[in-house]
Amino acid sequence: MLYYFAYGSNMNPERVRERGLEVVSERGARLAHFHLTFNKMSRDHSGHGHANIEFRRGAHTEGVLYELSTPREILKMDPYERAPWNYGRDVVEVHTMDGAQWAWTYFANPAVHVADLAPSADYLAHLLAGAAHLSDGYLEQLRRWLPD
């Protein structure tokens, strides 16, 4: 598997490079029937949530699809996602302008879910850093999470 679909803080291409992933290319992608939520308890930002996706028919989540230099590159991301404890990694089918593509992504484990959380402004800035790959409508949805 040569692709990684990021929908949370790893939509920030600079963050991904800082984490050591060798990326060949990046582009926007969309995951059908999943919606973005911030119900993953943050260890670093008390009282705030980190991104997660959950099944919801008719919804979609946008993100950044990274083409990795080798299939083993995804293993570099596991420690940052604290896999398999905080997040599990699985394969999903995302859609790009060029068609469907299979990619790795992360799902928060139910043991770290907490209701009624919101992202910190610093954390949300990482998501907004992927703006070049997101639709205007999706960017507006993300900006609604910004504190007043």
3-state secondary structure (DSSP) of residue 137: helix
Q: Write the pLDDT tens digit of every residue in 41-79.
A: 987 767 899 999 999 999 999 999 999 999 999 999 999
Mean pLDDT score of the chain:
95
pLDDT at 47: 85
Give the pLDDT confidence score for residue 1 in this predicted structure: 82
Q: Which residues contact 32 (CB under 8 A, 6 or more apart)?
A: 60, 95
Q: What is the pLDDT of residue 80?
A: 96
Q: Please report the domains of the chain, with CATH numbers, ordered by start residue.
A: 3-143 (3.10.490.10)
Q: Residue 6: enclosing H or E segment and its boundaries?
A: strand 3-6
| Residue type for position 106 | Y
Q: Can you give the pLDDT at residue 42?
A: 84
5-21, pLDDT tens digit by residue? 999 999 999 999 999 99
**Residue percentage of the chain with pLDDT more than 70:** 99
Prediction pTM value: 0.96
Provide the token pair at 32.
Answer: 């059908």
